[in-house]
A and B are shown apart, each in its own frame.
Chain A
Amino acid sequence: MDPIALSVDDLTVAYHRKPVIWDVEFDIPQGKLVGIVGPNGAGKSTLLKAIMDLIPRASGRVEVFGKPYHQSLHRVGYVPQRESVDWDFPVDALDVVTMGLYRRVGWCLPIRKKHRDAAREALARVGIADLAHRQISQLSGGQQQRTFLARALVQDADLYLMDEPLAAVDAATEAAIVELLKQMQADGKTAVVIHHDLQSVPDYFDHVVLLNMRVVATGRTQDVFTNENLQKTYGGRLTLLDEATEAMRRRERGI
């Protein structure tokens, strides 16, 4: 068995009177691409934020590489939702990526050439090296997402938490990001990705967490991503669409 990268135990988060997620419990082995899937309001973003101590939790324990989050903070990279920052900020794409390195640079010390080179390389890896000096508001949605991803890349973390990196991006960006995720996996990184598009889950992720306020199922995609579990996660309305997907998949595989 692989070592555990992220272990969530008995996690309950509540706002006001309403619990948002409860009794969430799962382990994620190292080196997996993990999709967190669930309907709107199922508490996906809340789960990520609770893992990172950004919101208070009512109960529960989170361990990252066997330690509490704040002790392994440096091994975690977070890709927030795109709307979370001010894109009018006067910085260019390269600056944003370089921010991922600030921790390594340290207090007060200036950015040196090697840092900028590392940032450029990360931009090249996400395929937008030529946009390094573009002001960030002039990037398209997909390019902004790639910039965020490049920033996560230079952090050189071992566990990445990504909040809907594939939401509202063009097809080319989606392909590029997925390609990158696979590369990261090949390098032994673990990525936990909130994902909204059911059709592509089996193609992108080898591990899923089906979440609807509590964990419906978690495990290897081929074991867990079943029609029955999806129905438990999404409810009856999805069945039709789902059966169609299933049929498509089967035909593609030639069964």
Chain B
Amino acid sequence: MSEHLWRVLSLQDHNTRVVIFGTAILGFAAGLVGCLTLLRRRALVGDALAHAALPGIAGAFLVATALGYDGKSLPLLLAGATVSGLFGIVSILLIRRMTRIKEDAALGIVLSVFFGLGVAMLGIVTQMNRGNAAGLESFIYGKTATMTESDARLIATASALCVLVCIALLKELKLLCFDEAFAGARGYPVVLLDIVLMSVVVVVTIVGLQAVGLVLVIALLVIPAASARFWTDRLVVMMVIASLLGMTGSFVGAAVSAMLPRLPSGAMIVLAAGLGFLVSFLIGTQRGVLVRFWRRRQLNESIDHQHLLRELYEIFEHDPDRVSVPYEELLERRSWSRKRLRRMLEQASRNGWITENVSKMEFALTDRGETEAKRLTRRHRLWELYLIRYADIAPQRVDRDADAIEHVLEPEIVAELETLLDKELGKTRMPDDPHAGGVGS
């Protein structure tokens, strides 16, 4: 077993090498292109085009056979697929531009009608000559395991072409995906760019079609791109990650299927990519669910403890002679529920910010707590002052969760705000609460 594993991983078999190489390149290109279609909100365009290719394949076969050529010649079939794929694109664009039908339905119409046509034509193909036609089925389910060297070379060439186009037109395509109207207004040929992007998708789809099959090529276009989105907010980074994910997924899937030849490689590739998606979905550093959940919790907790400490600080500031604050009084000051306040107090006590009496009904700030509360209150009041002073630009810049106001604002502005605070209050640097002045009601 381990010997077998080693043989696969070290790519000793020629056949394994071809398959892994071919699918990995395909995964790379599909991941890259997928990013653009995903951001164009057209993630399933590959779905539609993969289906739309079928009548072309069947048609090319029919015509070639009728004219007496070899109907199963690959370049011919791919040419047919490309032609009908391009027809599919034009139909999608026409429906989108000429009617009020939305993107998803336009894709669905092209997908189902073209595929229906393809199926109907296949029905005829099967009548022509049974032995001959059997190969066409492989376009639907793929034939990864039997990929030949020339197939792999074709995939490599086509993929390289797509990658080059995407990189060369990166700037323009980015604009197209981000803001079509703006791109149009700036004089970019939007329709042409759209067609270029979709043509790239067609090429990837069609070379993928015969490698991994109809449904699975969709997966390669969609899954790596969607996974990459969890890790980054930048397009270029996203494209790199998606390409690598696509490549890794293909590699792992193909390798597993090479080790256990009973497992269909196409399905294994998709499952590997799906696993990658699951991991990204959960722990992606930018948008991963767990990360976001954890961040949300952190944020709520930090807001809670800021509120609590500021509240305590203001109580003691108002009446410096007080020693402690009773629980009931705290409860009344804000909209806290009993349970929540209790939890917050326990947390603060664990942090060493407050002390409590034996009955846990009276609370006071410790020295550490006072320093922290002072810091928070100062920050809060500086921000409030900033909002008033620079109300017009403030909403974009206020980041109350930044550890220190200095991290967000220029030193001059902070200095100015502090002078203002000093002026109003003298040495303590703690002005009256701006709310306490009672503007309005």
Interface residues of A (CB under 8 A from B): 9-12, 14, 16-19, 22-23, 26-27, 39-43, 58-61, 88, 137, 210, 212-214, 216-219, 223-224, 229, 231-238
Contact of A217 among B304, B393, B439 (CB under 8 A): B439
Do A235 and B303 touch (CB < 8 A)? no
Asked if A58 and B390 make an inter-chain contact with CB atoms under 8 angstroms apart, the answer reads no
In the complex, chain A residues whose CB is within 8 Å of the CB of B401? 14, 17-19
**Does B441 sit at the interface, judged by CB under 8 A?**
yes
Asked if B394 and A235 sit within 8 Å, CB to CB, the answer is: yes
> How many Å from the CB of A235 to the closest CB on chain B?
3
B334 within 8 A of A: yes
Q: What residues of chain B lie closer than 8 Å to A9, measured between beta carbons?
A: 334-335
A217 near B307 (CB under 8 angstroms)? Answer: no
The answer on a CB contact under 8 Å between B307 and A59 is yes
Known contacts A19-B401, A223-B440; is-contact A238 B392 (Cβ 8 Å): yes
Q: Shortest distance in angstroms between A254's beta carbon and chain B's nearest beta carbon?
A: 27
Q: Which residue of A lies closest to B337 (CB)?
A: A61
The range of chain B's interface size is 20 to 34
A19:B388 contact, CB within 8 angstroms? no
Closest-by-CB residue of A relative to B340 is A59
A16 to B400 CA separation, bound complex (whole angstroms): 12
A18-B391 contact given A10-B335, A59-B335, A217-B439, CB 8 Å threshold: no
Say yes or no: B391 contacts A219, CB within 8 Å.
no
A59 to chain B, nearest CB (A): 6
Q: Is the CB of A42 within 8 A of B395?
A: yes
Q: Give Cα A181–Cα B392 distance, bound, in whole angstroms.
A: 29
Chain B residues contacting A27 (CB-CB under 8 Å) are 441
CB-nearest residue of chain A to B307: A59
B441 partner residues in chain A, CB cutoff 8 A? 26-27, 217-219, 223-224
Select one of A17, A59, A137 contacting B304, CB under 8 A.
Answer: A59
A234 touches B391 (CB 8 A): yes
Contact A235 B392 (CB under 8 A): yes
| Smallest CB gap from B389: residue in A | A235
What are 19 A-B pairs at a CB distance below 8 A?
A16-B295, A17-B299, A18-B400, A19-B303, A39-B391, A39-B395, A59-B335, A137-B100, A213-B395, A213-B398, A214-B387, A218-B440, A218-B441, A219-B440, A224-B441, A235-B391, A235-B394, A237-B392, A238-B392
Residues of B within 8 A of A18 (CB): 398-401
List of B residues within 8 angstroms of A58 by Cβ: 299-300, 303
Most chain A Cβ neighbours within 10 Å, of B307, B384, B395? B395
Cβ distance A19 to chain B, nearest Cβ, rounded Å: 5
User: Could you tell me which residues of chain B, from 381 to 432, have a CB within 8 Å of some CB in chain A?
Assistant: 384, 387-396, 398-401
**How near does chain B come to A81, taking the closest CB pair, in angstroms?**
18
Q: Which residues of A contact B100 (CB under 8 A)?
A: 88, 137
Q: In the complex, are the beta carbons of B391 and A231 less than 8 A apart?
A: yes
Where the two chains meet, the residues of B that have a C-beta atom closer than 8 Å to any C-beta of A are 100, 295, 299-300, 303-304, 307, 334-336, 384, 387-396, 398-401, 435, 439-441
Residues of A within 8 A of B395 (CB): 39-43, 212-213
User: B334 touching A10 by the CB < 8 A rule?
Assistant: yes
Selected contact of A236 from candidates B295, B335, B392, CB within 8 Å:
B392
**Considering residues B391, B396, B439, B441, which has the most beta carbons from chain A within 10 angstroms of its beta carbon?**
B391
Q: Are A217 and B295 in contact (CB under 8 A)?
A: no
**How many angstroms between the C-alpha atoms of A6 and B33 in the bound complex?**
51
Q: Which of the residues A10, A61, A229, A234 comes within 8 Å of B392, measured between beta carbons?
A: A234
Which residues of chain A are within 8 angstroms of B334 by Cβ–Cβ distance?
9-10, 59
Shortest distance between the CB of B289 and any CB in chain A (Å): 14
Tell me how far the C-beta of A149 lies from the nearest C-beta in chain B, rounded to whole angstroms. Answer: 25
In angstroms, how far is the closest chain B Cβ from the Cβ of A147?
Answer: 19
Contacts of A137 in B (CB 8 A): 100
A23: chain B residues within 8 A (beta carbon): 435
In the complex, given contacts A10-B334, A14-B401, what are 19 additional A-B residue pairs having Cβ atoms less than 8 angstroms apart?
A12-B307, A14-B303, A19-B400, A22-B400, A42-B395, A43-B395, A58-B299, A58-B300, A59-B335, A60-B335, A212-B395, A216-B440, A217-B439, A217-B440, A223-B441, A224-B440, A231-B391, A235-B394, A237-B392
Task: Return the chain B residue nearest A14 by Cβ.
Answer: B299
Indicate if the CB atoms of B391 and A61 lie closer than 8 Å: no
* Whole-angstrom CA separation of A236 from B398 in the bound complex: 17
Pick the residue among B300, B392, B398 that contacts A39 (CB under 8 A): B392
Whether A214 touches B384, Cβ cut-off 8 Å, given contacts A58-B300, A235-B390, A235-B394, is: yes
B87 to chain A, nearest CB (A): 26
Q: A88 — which chain B residues lie within 8 A by C-beta?
A: 100
| A239 nearest CB across to chain B (Å) | 10
What are the residues of chain B within 8 A of A11 when measuring CB–CB?
335
Residues of A within 8 A of B396 (CB): 41
Pick the 6 closest A-B CB pairs, nearest first. Answer: A235-B392, A217-B440, A235-B391, A41-B395, A61-B335, A219-B441
Cβ of B391: which chain A residues have Cβ within 8 Å of it?
A: 39, 212, 231-236
Which residue of chain B has its CB nearest to the CB of A18? B399
Evaluate contact between B440 and A213: CB separation under 8 angstroms: no
Q: A9-B335, A18-B398, A59-B335 are in contact. Are A216 and B439 (CB under 8 A)?
A: yes
Q: How far is the CB of B421 from chain A (nearest CB, A)?
A: 16
List B contacts of A238 (CB < 8 A): 392
A25 to chain B, nearest CB (A): 9
CA A218 – CA B399 in complex, angstroms?
24
Q: Give Cα A61–Cα B440 distance, bound, in whole angstroms.
A: 21
Asked, given contacts A16-B295, A17-B399, A235-B394, whether A212 binds B387 with beta carbons under 8 Å apart, the answer is yes
